[in-house]
Amino acid sequence: MDNIVLLGLCLVLGVILGATNRMPAQAPATINSFIIHISLPALILLRLHAIQAQPGFLAAAAMPWIVFIVIGALIWIGGRAAGFSQGTIGALILTAGLGNTSFVGLPMIEMFFGHHALPIGIMIDQLGSYLVLGTLGIWVACVLNHEDTSARAMAKQILTFPPLIALVLALVLIPFDYPAWLTRLLARLGDTLAPLALVSVGLQLHPSMLRGHAAALGTGLTCKLLFAPLLIALALPLLAPADSEIWRVSVFEAAMGPSIGGGVVASQHKLNDSVVSLMIGIGIPLSLFTASLWWWLVLG
């Protein structure tokens, strides 16, 4: 619960700072760069190193891949039919196609399922959400921003993405114990991700953004909060038994709000910042209610 309160507080502080012009115009871009190069790699190095494989974990890790591919395709088709810009479609795919499976998802798992279920959430987060973001997510961001999409340029973008480098390094280092000082250092750096990201979103969040973006916001939130968990509830039994804990936690994680990491990548690639801010600023608080409904009506 402390994490959720912290997210809300940082979002409000960002809105206040933006409304009072207390931060320079380039502040969100600077904050997002720090997140991508420092906060997110540190978090991955810390959490993935501690994971222990268990039967069925690969089914859980498949959840974000399924959601990103299917929901991304729906947004692409629906967005083009609705006349959304490429930047808007890209922003929706990166925020609605990926979930906040870490800073909201993990505390919610502990609250509703208990501490013993956290390894499932970590597997979903690390080998699912962040691996999708570092590969397919980067590809979508480049294509929809009309960047160089040659094989060489795309390979460079993906292979030099700091979180992906951290993920590979964390897997290599699993057999080795981190010294205590390194664990503390990574924890402190990783803890900066959510507060900084929500302040960045808040700096760019203004009520006037709803004008002209209501249809895109409605499309993205419907896909993220309704279609994504429904998709996993129906599709994941092909990989894990229905009503198993892996199935239940995966459906619950699919119901989490829009991805902070996906929003940062969308902003860095100059997709629709207004849609990114609305999706995260409205979607994350709303998901606390809708994910709880999924628990009470389907998973509990």
State the CATH class of domain 36-197+217-299: mainly alpha
Query: Per-domain residue ranges for the chain?
Result: 36-197+217-299
Residue 219: partners with Cβ closer than 8 Å, 6 or more residues away: 75, 78, 79, 82, 84, 92, 96
| Residues 175 and 190: beta-carbon distance below 8 Å | no
pLDDT tens, 217-235?
999 999 999 999 999 999 9
What pTM was estimated for this model as a whole? Answer: 0.86
Is residue 147 classed exposed, middle or buried when 0-12, 13-18 and 19+ CB atoms within 10 A define those classes? middle
pLDDT tens, 94-140?
999 999 887 788 888 888 888 788 888 888 988 889 899 989 999 99
Is residue 210 predicted with pLDDT exceeding 80?
A: no
Give the pair of three-digit tokens for residue 253. Answer: 């994680």
pLDDT tens, 244-270?
899 999 999 999 999 888 988 998 888
